[in-house]
Amino acid sequence: MKKVITLMMAFAIAMPTFAQFDGSRKTKNRFNHSNVEQYYGVRLGYNYACINSSNALVDMEGYGGWSFGGVYGLQLANSTPLWLEAGLFYSEKGGKVNNYLSTATINGVEHEYTQKKTTRLIYLQAPIVVKYAFDVADDFYVQPFLGAYLALGVGGKTKLYDDKRSYDSFDDFNRFDGGFRVGCGAEYQMIYAEIGFDFGIANICDSDWLTGRNQNLFFNIGVNF
């Protein structure tokens, strides 16, 4: 996961170098309006999330999930392709452990065993980012972005497979989450795609003695209107 984070940051930082925005293209219809532009968009995406902790009881490996939602974008100045984008998403995060240490008491004797454990954390998430759109070719734009997100847990189950038992994930975790977001998008006419990473900075553990943070690599596709 650390390698993924490093690659994501390098990708987002390097994109402006490769994009080379050409300010002489005055015939483009994207940024030469006399009024400030705005857009609406819908997104469907895939998350690959984990819970990062120094404590083995909390630390969890990557776990896939879905996301979908809508965004609203506003051009901050009609002479500059700088955009503010806010959204609201249904977002599945969490993690898994293939060798979760469990205990059971049999005939008065405590036994230890390992089993598969998955935790699904479902959030209502509100990201807000600033984008800079590089005009690469006719109607094709590359858009690195940086911002933050806030999220509220609304559901999710934790499953212990050998025990054949499940319970509400937020019995173990706080419902509030928040952090930073970085990534890069590409737009061709109405079609949009992006890759990014959410760095959770809020401690989601429901304990004064444990620390855990969400991390999430996401891929979104959609359309802008």
What CATH number does the domain containing 161 carry?
Answer: 2.40.160
Burial class (CB in 10 A: 0-12, 13-18, 19+), 185: buried
Q: Which of 136-140, 152-156, 209-213 has the lowest mean pLDDT?
A: 136-140
Residue that is written with structure tokens 């990473």 in the block: 197
Asked if residue 103 has pLDDT above 70, the reply is yes
Residue 39: inside a domain, yes or no? no
Residue 28: inside a domain, yes or no? no
Asked if residue 147 has pLDDT above 90, the reply is yes
Residue 31: inside a domain, yes or no? no
Cα(120)–Cα(132) distance, integer angstroms: 34
pLDDT band (50, 70, 90) for residue 223: very high
Cα(181)–Cα(160) distance, integer angstroms: 31
Cα–Cα distance list, 51 to 19, 20, 102, 216 (Å): 34, 37, 19, 9
What sign does the CA torsion over 104, 107, 111, 115 have?
A: negative
pLDDT at res. 2? 52
Residue 36: inside a domain, yes or no? no
pLDDT band (50, 70, 90) for residue 25: very low
Mean pLDDT of the chain: 87
Cα(146)–Cα(12) distance, integer angstroms: 9
Number of independent structural domains in the chain: 1
pLDDT band (50, 70, 90) for residue 24: very low
Domain extent at residue 7: 2-23+44-224
Residue 188: inside a domain, yes or no? yes
pLDDT band (50, 70, 90) for residue 170: very high
